[in-house]
Amino acid sequence: MMQLWSRVVTATLMLTVVPAAHGQSAATPGATWDRRYDGQMYVYGKEPVDFLRQMLPELHVGRALVLAAGEGRNAVYLARQGFDVTAVDVSAKGLQKCLALAATQGVTVHTIVADLDTFDLGTERWDVITEFYYHDPALFERAMRGLKPGGHFILQHFSLDQLTTNRFGPRNPAWLVAPNQLPRAFNAWRIRHYEDTIVELDEGMHQGPAAVVRLLVEKTPVE
């Protein structure tokens, strides 16, 4: 599969290959998300996920990789906290809005339009990797490899309970987290925080109770 990415989202994208990106069925990578992000409104708002804000004191300021960054609310937040942020997403439109948000807040975010199925996270390159509302267990090992020793992987996703909690979020169980799936997947590493809970969301189009899992893993091996 040809990997398509660009350092600047304004670059012309020759999207001739058609992998079905996570959560979409369109023929062109990113097309569904580009459509969703088309318009002035920030679909999930401009404020970061609360859990990221809460865990900030645990993170080492340095290089942050924001996976599936969307319109950039979490990437811009981290840049405001002094991180050197790279935001990756399959949607060029989303990342354009990320750059616009960064500009209004006086910070810089590097953007890469890429399909996370094939994106190279590198080895021991990042102090923090975030993954919010993009559940792909195939990324877990790559993310842990990409972290520097002692670095942190932080995520929040909808859990399977969301199917009976509220009407928003993915309906495909493959994109929802099963009970204990994350503690099992990360049992070789130090889990600093894990919750499987219902929270009240105030995130753009996501308003009201939501069933989520929240995880902060440190890249420190455990016996």
| DSSP letter, residue 131 | E
CB of 41 to ligand SAM, least distance (A): 13
**Does residue 151 touch ligand SAM according to CB under 6 A?**
no
| Binding characters for ligand SAM, 23-62, by CB under 6 A (x = yes) | x---------x----------x------------------
CB of 35 to ligand SAM, least distance (A): 11
**Does residue 146 touch ligand SAM according to CB under 6 A?**
no
CB of 149 to ligand SAM, least distance (A): 26
Burial 70-102 (b: 16+ CB within 10 A, else e): bbbbbbbbbbebebebbbbbbbbbbbbbbbebb
Comparing CA positions, the residue from 137, 11, 130, 144 lying closest to residue 70 is 130
User: For residues 22 and 110, which CB has a smaller minimum distance to ligand SAM in the complex?
Assistant: 22
Q: Strand, helix or coil at 221?
A: strand
Binding ligand SAM by CB under 6 A: which of 55, 59, 92, 94? 94
List of residues 6+ apart from 174 with CB closer than 8 A: none
Burial of 210 by CB count in 10 Å (0-12 exposed, 13-18 middle, 19+ buried)?
buried
- Residues of the shown chain interacting with ligand SAM in the complex, contacts defined by CB under 6 A: 21-23, 33, 44, 68-70, 73-74, 89-91, 94, 115-117, 132-134
